[in-house]
Amino acid sequence: MEKVVVRFAPSPTGYLHIGGARTALFNYLFAKHYNGVFRLRIEDTDKKRSKPEFTEQILASMAWLGLEPDGEVVFQSKRFPRYRAAVEALRENGRAYRCFCTREEIEERRGGNPGWKYDRKCAALNEDEIQKKLKTGQPFVVRLKIPSEPIFFKDMVRGAMRFSEKEFEDFIIVRSDGFPIYQLTVVVDDHDMGITHVIRGDDHLSNTPKQIFLYRALGFEPPEFGHIPLILGPDKKRLSKRHGATSVEEYRETGFLSEALVNFIALLGWNPGDDREIMDLNEMIRGFSTERISKSAAVFDYTKALWLNGQYISMLSDDKLEEIFIDIYEQKDITVNKSDQLSRIIQLLRPRIRTLSELFNSGRFFFQQPKSYDEKGVRKHFSGDFAVEILKADAELIEKCDPFDEAELEKRLRAEAEREGRKAAHYIHPLRLALTGSTASPGIFETVVLVGRDECLSRIERAIRYIESIEGRE
């Protein structure tokens, strides 16, 4: 195989989302599998919608995912002279022509016939007629003259493809404002960048025959094409934000590890040929092939993404997870130091969390008193005199427990429950709500020890005052 050169070519009209990230990843894996080159091109010709902040976010997201491009980034906005030269070459060799027909004239000739194709009226104009129209400032577009030959190509994913030339009219390659359209710019860029393989979403499949017409008209050799099926939501509709398919940046902010997100994205329509679900980037590179890209749409499963991220978090070393934990809490203005207590807290939280943000949401009560109490929990576990009685009993148990450890606490609480003819849960649920503000937490006895005796007593006293205050309002 010749030296593989592929590209990812996003438009900076929005952030990098899952679909674009998958296209970038598949191109990256393909290039690295064959010791090839992975290029990046920013297709920023849409001046109204393209924004520098989107470009910056795309570059930052790709760097975070570990998909660093080879060579300089190409910006289409800097290549207009090259596009104009290509158009001139097409006109000079008779493969393109100026079209002065107005939209109204075309619609009149179409006559409501949806199958009508442009009739090449302007292709028959002689040079004098053209110059006369140009002198009067009559606007025009440039159209490519479609040859009388079908398009055949072997798609790397879909197999043999055939398109009849009769399906296409002489399509516009330069708009009346002088701006070249996507079909032209992408062909010129891919040729100039030496692109050998184009892997992209199958929503581009209808563009491919038009681009092959352009390649041939310009005397260029077309690359090989591979079109990846779309990603669908669980409801089998096109993937959107309602399915959890937000930008890569949002996944990062939510607390996904880049390695986990890359792993998840890779499995959206590709498999390594075995039952593996957890793979690092090097394993993916070794096993990647376009033959293993599914021909049917991938289904996005956010629950699976969370599970996979949880698996990656569980595999982090203690030191790494402690560093992440400390950094997250510092961002929230809470100082946490490395200690035996922190190690024990992390071991308690590690199997429970699926995103790094949950390190804060699930663990901050170890360092801060709860600012509020879960509403449903209040209705269920903080009901009047009974709750106050239970919490006072919990406080007495905690105050007198010696040794102050999980085993002794559990033994004493269960003995108290048995003496009073109650279930242990009657003591545990109000205590958990008082200490954490939530109805869910790590094991209550481990939680009590890690929060500390004095802090537990303070929080129980605060919860009792809260119960008495709401009872007083009622």
Which residues are annotated as catalytic? 241
Amino acid sitting at position 398: I
DSSP 220: P
Is the Cβ–Cβ distance between 433 and 462 less than 8 Å? no
Distance, in Å, from the CA atom of 437 to the CA atom of 369, rounded to the nearest integer, reads 8
Which residues is 227 bridged to in the sheet? 200
- Specify the DSSP element, H or E, that contains 432: helix 425-436
Is the Cβ–Cβ distance between 172 and 142 less than 8 Å? yes
Which two three-digit tokens encode residue 85?
Answer: 């030269």
Rg (alpha carbons) of the chain, rounded to whole number: 32
Is the Cβ–Cβ distance between 268 and 201 less than 8 Å? no
Task: For residue 175, give every residue at least 6 positions away whose Cβ sits within 8 Å of its Cβ, in sequence order, or none.
Answer: 141, 181
- Specify the DSSP element, H or E, that contains 200: strand 197-201
Q: Do the strands 74-75 and 96-99 form a parallel or antiparallel pair, or are they unpaired?
A: unpaired
Task: For residue 378, give every residue at least 6 positions away whose Cβ sits within 8 Å of its Cβ, in sequence order, or none.
Answer: 433, 470
Phi, psi of 435 (to 5 degrees): -80, -35
- Specify the DSSP element, H or E, that contains 173: strand 172-174
- Which of 21, 16, 31, 9 shows the shortest CA–CA distance to 75? 9
The answer to whether the Cα torsion of 338, 342, 347, 349 is positive or negative is negative
Per-residue burial over 457-467, b if 16 or more Cβ lie within 10 Å, else e, is: eebbeebbebb
